Amino acid sequence: MLFAAQLGTIALALAIIHRPLGHAMALAYTSRRHLRLERWLYRATGVDPDAEQSAGAYARSVIVFSLIGIVLVVAIQLAQPALPWSNGLAAPRLDLALNTAISFVTNTNWQSYSPELTLGYTAQALGLAVQNFLSAAVGLAVAVALFRALAPAARETLGSFWVDLTRGTLRILLPLSFAAAVVLLIGGVVQNLSAPLELTTLTGGTQSIPGGPVASQEAIKLIGTNGGGFFNANSSHPFENPSAATSLLQIVLFLAIPFSLPRTFGEIVGQPRQGRAIVGAMAIMATVSVVLMTAAELAAPGSAPAAAGAALEGKELRFGIPGSTLYASATTLTSTGSVNSMHSSYTAFGGGMAMLNMMLGEVAPGGVGSGMYGMLLLAIIAVFLAGLMIGRTPEYLGKQLGPREMGLASAAVIVSPALVLIGMALSLAVAGLRESVIGESLLSDGAHGFSELLYAFTSAANNNGSAFAGLTANTLWLNLALGVAMLIGRLAPIVLVLMLAGSLAARRALPETSGTLPTHTPLFTGLLIGTTLIISALTYAPALALGPLAEGL
């Protein structure tokens, strides 16, 4: 009953948010008016806000902006001893600093370190929190560029990346995050610049209790589907997530934009019903996922969980099983990566479900922007498969799909699985790397140890950022390997999506005929879901069989 009530509350909140937020985002990206602050920023940076970019120029802008961000975040971390409010912390190792910078610039927020013991307030706020805004705005910009390409009229440009980045940050992410931060403060999340408190425990020992600008970073961590915690315990820490009510609010916050973007898409292409078909597919996959994960945890297989009445290890009693599985499902179905329980402590099938959520491609509903353009790639592939079955040239929204478009869409979809499987193969097949992984990183052996590593590469390549909690990832190999997976897993699909957008934008939409496949119907929603599941099953089934399935059986 509690699970149904919580799930219903989330669904109701998203249903209320979906239309107005989706409409507001469509207005933000289609308005011809530049705000005064935006005009000042354009003048300061030398950007012509009325000049649009080709697909190639748009992609180059994304890459250059991202690489500059990585360099700056690395520099901030290495300069930490000289920064104010560093809490006396030293600079992290270069490989860790590079991994962290790539992680936050790519919207992954994978953390191979304990935040409160590694980075001071300034490094977290100036380096990490700033990238939380910018990386989310990049995802939105790429998605909107693809929306424009699918609009009926032919065009040679996709808009301006710099304008889209600025509007996404100032008009969407900043206002939403400010409002969310105020609500979180009211809910008990801390916000200060005080030095850590040194307290004496009941046993006579000492404990350091850090504070920090938590609420402001927590808000964009959620709104931007970033996920990086101010504290090592992430959203199971009472300073980040004080109660069951704030935990439910956090779930709504990181689902809000991804579930509203289909409405934005529908308005920009002039067919709102197309957005409804996509959000329907997202909602069905998300609901099935959370029900299956909750059932696995409540079933509590094994003598110890059965004696406790449920699989309670690694879960906060403030949230219980339903509050934990709702959060775990939502955070792995999006690219948020925030956790309020330890996924490594889940049952084999429950932890496997968290992995499968990411293996779907982060599309149900996925991250801010990235989930939507990932779903559109799958929609294009679904249309192609349907065209093969009925013997017609595939079209999506009137745009004819040729070999070039299908090649780009297919390549973008297989980037993440390739990174996961190659990373796993190198880590376990190369003798020196295998010794490092098994000897230094894995807490468990056998199928569960395999799952720890599989989860890490899946999380990195899909830009999720959550971890299985038993893995020690702060080693030279994993810092570099996961960093490469995060960087390629983010930038390669973006470049391919923008190349696809450039190809589609140049084509004028064809009129519908009796042979046109309707892409706004429940039938297409089902086809889209089937395509998503089949691609994931064919790609990841062997790896899952060696990890969570072997452990569960």
In this prediction, residue 470 carries a pLDDT of 81
Q: What's the token pair of residue 424?
A: 């796993």
In this prediction, residue 5 carries a pLDDT of 93
Q: How far apart are CA 341 and CA 325, in angstroms?
A: 8
In this prediction, residue 445 carries a pLDDT of 87
In this prediction, residue 201 carries a pLDDT of 83
Residue (of 425, 418, 430) closest to 453 by Cα position: 425
In this prediction, residue 469 carries a pLDDT of 79
In this prediction, residue 208 carries a pLDDT of 82
In this prediction, residue 302 carries a pLDDT of 59
Q: What's the token pair of residue 104?
A: 């936050």
317 within 8 A of 26, measured Cβ to Cβ: no
18 within 8 A of 121, measured Cβ to Cβ: no
Cβ neighbours of residue 386 closer than 8 Å, sequence gap 6 or more? 394, 517, 527
**Tally of CB atoms within 10 A around 90:** 9
Question: Token pair 């008016």 is at which residue?
Answer: 33
DSSP string, 221-281: HHHTT----SSTTGGGSTTT--SHHHHHHHHHHHHHHHHHHHHHHHHHTT-HHHHHHHHHH
In this prediction, residue 503 carries a pLDDT of 96
Q: How far apart are CA 456 and CA 344, in angstroms?
A: 11
Residue (of 70, 58, 308) closest to 162 by Cα position: 58
Q: How far apart are CA 4 and CA 345, in angstroms?
A: 23
Q: What's the token pair of residue 539?
A: 């790609």
pLDDT in tens, 94-126: 999 999 999 999 999 999 988 888 999 999 999
**Tally of CB atoms within 10 A around 268:** 20
The secondary structure element, H or E, covering residue 399 is strand 399-400
Using DSSP, how many helices (H) and how many strands (E) does the chain show?
22, 4
In this prediction, residue 278 carries a pLDDT of 97
Residue (of 102, 66, 107, 99) closest to 337 by Cα position: 107
- What residues does each domain of the chain span? 368-552
Q: What's the token pair of residue 379?
A: 């929609």
144 within 8 A of 113, measured Cβ to Cβ: no
Low-confidence ranges of the chain (pLDDT < 70): 300-310
335 within 8 A of 258, measured Cβ to Cβ: no
In this prediction, residue 106 carries a pLDDT of 97
